[in-house]
Amino acid sequence: MTQAADWLQTSIMETRGLTRGRSGTTHELTPERQGTYHYTIGPYSEPVLTVQPGDRVTFWTQDCFEGRIRDEADLPSQVLEMPFINPQCGPVLVEGVEKGDVLAVHIESMSPWGENPRGTCCLVPEFGGLTGTTHTATLNEPLPEVVRKIHLDQEHVYWSDRVTLPYRPHVGTISCSPEIDSINALTPDQHGGNMDMPDICPGNIVYLPAKVPGGRFFIGDCHACQGEGEVCGVAVEYPSITTLRFDVIKGWTIAWPRLEAEDFLMTIGSARPLEDAMRIAYRELVFWLVNDYGFDTWDAYMLLSQCGQAKLGNFVDPKYTIGAAVTKGYLAA
């Protein structure tokens, strides 16, 4: 399940990464080895693993509720204890990573673990896109706390008698550590974090700005599928076995996470209001075209106005996430 696609050989990761695509050791971070999870992403926690560039790590992630929602009678307000939510595996150190480098992360595979119904969706009070929230504060009665337990396998998500969805796994929360902040695992920002971007999926490569030695990598919050925007605030949350391969790129400093797929490049911004996430993502994409592909600034700006793609991650988290993407074919010199 970890067969490399051909295009990887021409990816930024393999052409600019230290290992030039050579694989190293594979590590397994089981729940036992992880021990306790982390609810903030920062420089103050103890590393659980140190790996070399080129190494693979298989993470056994918990779902974002840490398995506390076992059946449809487990109401979020009763079984969850804020702010201890969205447990993160890690931190993992990648040797040789320094502040100003890029940590390249190839998502090789994602499969579920645990017994069915191992998927969970629910409505959490004052959280979500179509409700008053703790910040878009209203005096309306909160929505009901509806819980859905869902069967899923590597092909499908069995949503209801009526609807079966494809299994489209992706990583909700993925990060290097910020330099001095320790940010709760619900919030996306420049370090990555809770971006809830469906394109952070098997086959694609995430590029994360490193701010501290070793990068201090965290991962959690995997989704069996999710719509654009994650409108109710919750995807089909599930416990995953996710295998990643790491590399480090020297001499490439980026301000925000980026992503590479076979066909497109993407920059990712997280902010409120949503248009600021958009502005960040598109400006980073202009910079990328100018700095790495030889475009003139105004040509890049006007060209993206004709062919840029916008991918909405979420508009429910403490910051909202949007990716701006461009087809690789337009970048050839």
Q: From 60-68, 202-210, 226-234, 244-252, give the range in contact with its own copies by CB under 8 A.
A: 226-234
Do 64 and 85 meet the contact criterion of CB atoms below 8 Å apart?
A: yes
Q: Which is nearer to its own copies, 7 or 330 (CB)?
A: 330
Q: What CA–CA distance (Å, rounded) separates 122 from 239?
A: 16
* Binding of its own copies by 202 (CB under 8 A): no
Q: Which is nearer to its own copies, 84 or 113 (CB)?
A: 84
Q: Could you give the maximum distance between any two Cα atoms of the chain, in Å?
A: 58
Give the sign of the dihedral formed by CA 119, CA 124, CA 129, CA 130: positive
DSSP-assigned letter for residue 331: G
Do 140 and 326 meet the contact criterion of CB atoms below 8 Å apart?
A: no
Binding mask 157-196 for its own copies (x = CB under 8 A): x-xx-xx-x-------------xxxxxx------------
* Binding of its own copies by 31 (CB under 8 A): no
| Buried/exposed 13-43: b ≥16 CB within 10 Å, e otherwise | bbebbbbebeeeeebebeeeebeebbbbbbe
- Quote the distance between the C-alpha of residue 231 and its chain's center: 17
Binding mask 104-123 for its own copies (x = CB under 8 A): -----------------xxx
Q: Which is nearer to its own copies, 223 or 245 (CB)?
A: 223
Q: Which is nearer to its own copies, 239 or 323 (CB)?
A: 323
* Binding of its own copies by 124 (CB under 8 A): no
Residue 14's identity, in one-letter code, is: E
Q: From 94-102, 104-112, 201-209, 227-235, give the range in contact with its own copies by CB under 8 A.
A: 227-235
Q: What CA–CA distance (Å, rounded) separates 257 from 13?
A: 14
Q: What CA–CA distance (Å, rounded) separates 199 from 24?
A: 25
Q: What CA–CA distance (Å, rounded) separates 128 from 120?
A: 15
Q: What CA–CA distance (Å, rounded) separates 198 from 182?
A: 25
Q: Which is nearer to its own copies, 225 or 248 (CB)?
A: 225
Q: Which is nearer to its own copies, 221 or 284 (CB)?
A: 284
Do 216 and 30 meet the contact criterion of CB atoms below 8 Å apart?
A: no
Binding mask 69-98 for its own copies (x = CB under 8 A): --------------xx--------------
Minimum Å gap between C-beta 214 and its own copies is: 18
Minimum Å gap between C-beta 245 and its own copies is: 28
Q: What CA–CA distance (Å, rounded) separates 174 from 316?
A: 17
Q: Which is nearer to its own copies, 35 or 135 (CB)?
A: 135
* Binding of its own copies by 67 (CB under 8 A): no
Q: Which is nearer to its own copies, 207 or 295 (CB)?
A: 295
Minimum Å gap between C-beta 187 and its own copies is: 9
Residues 252-291 that bind its own copies (CB under 8 A): 255, 269, 271-276, 278-280, 282-284, 286
Residues 305-324 that bind its own copies (CB under 8 A): 305-310, 312, 315, 320, 324
